[in-house]
Structure 1
C-alpha cells in the first residue's frame, strides 16, 4: 500500500450499498475499535478516525492487527451487529461473538427439527432440492444426496473452467500454505471463508446456532457449511473462475474482496437468508430477524 494512503475510507450511507435494512459487513484491519460519545469509532494505523454506523451493519469482520474495547463490543451487540474475527481479507474465519439481543425461539425450533431423524433429513432434502430442481429426491438417503452433490460440484468446476477458458487441475487447499495454491484455488479459499463469516454473523443475529447442521457434521460450523452450499456457485465458484481470467495469473486480494462484496450485495444475501432459513427448516412461523 502506498505511503500516505488510508487503510480505510470514511463510511457513510452514500458510500456503502444498502441490503434491505442492513449493510452486509465491513472488513477492518490494523486499527482499533473504541467508543466515542456512545458510538463506535475506528482508528486506523495512520490515526484517522472513522465513525461506524453499527446500527445499519450486520457484521464487523476484524482482520489482523485489530483490537477492540469492551465498551465497543457492548455497543455493537446492543445494535444487533455481530463481530467476527477473521484472517487477512477474510481469508480464514476464526470466531464470532454471540449476540445476547437475539431471542431463543429460532434456536429451539432449529434444535427440535435437528433432533428428529425424519425432519432432519427433510431439511437436507430441501437444501439439495435447491441444487437439483429437476431431480426426484424423495426417498433418497443423505449419503446418496451427498454423492450427487459431489458429482455436481466437480462438473460445475469443469464447466466454469471451460466457460472462462481457465486451466483447472482440481480443488486443492493446504492449511497454512495459501500462497502455494493456484489463483483459482486462492480465490475459492478466500471467498469461501468470507462467506462463512457473513453467514455466521447473520445466523447469530437471527437467533439460530451455527453448530446445529443437517448435512455436514464433525466440523465446528455445520449449519454455516450447509447454508454456504446454497450460495457458493455464484458467490465463490463462478467468481473464482471469472477473476482468474481477469487477474491473468496475478492474485489480487483487494480485487477479490471487492468483487465478493459486490456479489453479496447484488444477490441481496441477507434478505434471502431471512427467507431461506425458515423455508429450509420447514417452519413458516420462525422469527425472521432476531432482536
Structure 2
C-alpha cells in the first residue's frame, strides 16, 4: 500500500488558488487529524471533515492537538496554519507558503529598498483606503496624521449609525475582556484580518516583514495589508455586532466576518491589491509569473540562466 509520505507533492497549478479558498477556519479544544486529503476535527460532539485544499488559513486556538499527518496534508495543499491564543488575539506561529515563485518577493524588496518607491507605495495604500483624497504630495508624517483622523472619523460615524456608545479605542494586550463590547468586537475583527492578510501575503511568497507603512516588526507588511480594509469592513462590522448584543462578541464577530469576507470575495481582492501595489505596471504575463514553478541561476549583467546544469564547461561563456 502506498504510504502518505510516498505520494508526490502537487504542483502549484494543481493547487486551489488563494482567491478561491475559504478565508479562515478557527478550531479550538479538538484534535486535528487527517483522513485521505481532508483534515478532521474531533471533539466530544463528533468528527468534522474539512477538505484541506479549500482552506486559506487554519487558526488553531487553545486546546487543539494536531497530528503530523494533518500538518503534512496542510503543507502539501498550501494552507496557512496559525497557532493563536484565546479568542484569536495572540499570534504564535504559522506554516508554509503556497506560491513557489519569488517574483512578488523580489518586486517587494525593490520597492521597499528605494525610499522614494517605499513612500510611493505607502501613498498608494492610503489612496486605496480613502479614494476621495489625493495623497500624492503628502509626507509620511502627513499620511499618518490623515490616516489617524480618518480612522477616528470612522469610529464616530459607525457609533452614530448603530447607536453604540463610543468612548474611544481601548485594548489591553493579553486581556481581551478588558474593553467594552464594541472594543472586543473591533479587536476580534482586527485579529482575524491580520490572520487573513498573513495567509495571503505568505501564499504569494511575499515577505511579511517588509512593510511600507508599518516598520520594525516581523509582520509589518501583514499589518499594512490588513489595514487596507479596516475602515471599510472591520470597524463597521464590529459596531454591527456590538449593536446586536453584548453576549460573546468574539465568536460572533469571527463568524460574521467570515461570512462577509466570502460574500465580497475579499481574498481575491486582496491578492489583486498586493500585485497592483508591488508590480503596478504588471501585464497579464507579469502577473502570471507569480504562478510559475521555475528555479533559475543568476549571472552577470542581471541575466538568469537555467538551473540543474553544471556550468564548469561554460566558464568563458557570455550571457
How high is the TM-score relative to the length of structure 2? 0.79
Measure, in 2, the Cα distance between the counterparts of 1:194 and 1:74.
24
**Do the aligned partners of residues 101 and 77 (structure 1) sit closer, same or farther apart at CA in structure 2, a change above 3 Å counting?**
farther
**Do the aligned partners of residues 250 and 46 (structure 1) sit closer, same or farther apart at CA in structure 2, a change above 3 Å counting?**
closer
**CA offsets 1:136-190 (integer angstroms, 9 cap, x no match):** 3222111111110001111111111111111111001011222121001000111
Are the equivalent residues in 1 in contact too, given 2:159–2:239 (CA < 8 A)? yes
3-state SS of paired residue (2:92): strand
Higher mean C-alpha deviation, range 46-55 or range 160-169: 46-55
Higher mean C-alpha deviation, range 211-220 or range 147-156: 211-220
**Do the aligned partners of residues 101 and 78 (structure 1) sit closer, same or farther apart at CA in structure 2, a change above 3 Å counting?**
farther
**CA offsets 1:230-289 (integer angstroms, 9 cap, x no match):** 111232110111111111x33443322211111111221110012100112225224455
Deviation at 1:21, TM superposition (A): 2.4
3-state SS of paired residue (1:42): strand
Are the equivalent residues in 1 in contact too, given 2:99–2:290 (CA < 8 A)? no
Other-structure match for 1:58: 56
Residue number among 221, 224, 244 corresponding to 1:223 in the alignment: 221
Measure, in 2, the Cα distance between the counterparts of 1:142 and 1:126.
12
3-state SS of paired residue (2:228): helix
Residue number among 125, 136, 139 corresponding to 2:137 in the alignment: 139
Measure, in 2, the Cα distance between the counterparts of 1:220 and 1:189.
20
Are the equivalent residues in 2 in contact too, given 1:93–1:194 (CA < 8 A)? no
Other-structure match for 1:26: 25
Other-structure match for 1:263: 260
Q: Which runs of 5+ in 1 are unaligned?
A: 1-18
**Do the aligned partners of residues 134 and 35 (structure 1) sit closer, same or farther apart at CA in structure 2, a change above 3 Å counting?**
closer
Measure, in 2, the Cα distance between the counterparts of 1:32 and 1:148.
46
Aligned positions of 1:130-279 closer than 5 A: 130-247=128-245, 249-279=246-276
Alpha-carbon RMSD = 2.1
**Do the aligned partners of residues 276 and 205 (structure 1) sit closer, same or farther apart at CA in structure 2, a change above 3 Å counting?**
same
Measure, in 2, the Cα distance between the counterparts of 1:278 and 1:41.
31
Are the equivalent residues in 2 in contact too, given 1:41–1:49 (CA < 8 A)? no
3-state SS of paired residue (2:168): coil
Residue number among 68, 72, 75 corresponding to 2:73 in the alignment: 75
Are the equivalent residues in 2 in contact too, given 1:114–1:212 (CA < 8 A)? yes
Aligned positions of 1:70-109 closer than 5 A: 70-99=68-97, 102-109=100-107
Q: Which runs of 5+ in 2 are unaligned?
A: 1-17, 294-319
Deviation at 1:219, TM superposition (A): 2.6
**Do the aligned partners of residues 101 and 48 (structure 1) sit closer, same or farther apart at CA in structure 2, a change above 3 Å counting?**
farther
Measure, in 2, the Cα distance between the counterparts of 1:242 and 1:41.
33
Other-structure match for 1:14: none
How high is the TM-score relative to the length of structure 1? 0.86
Q: How many residues align structurally?
A: 272
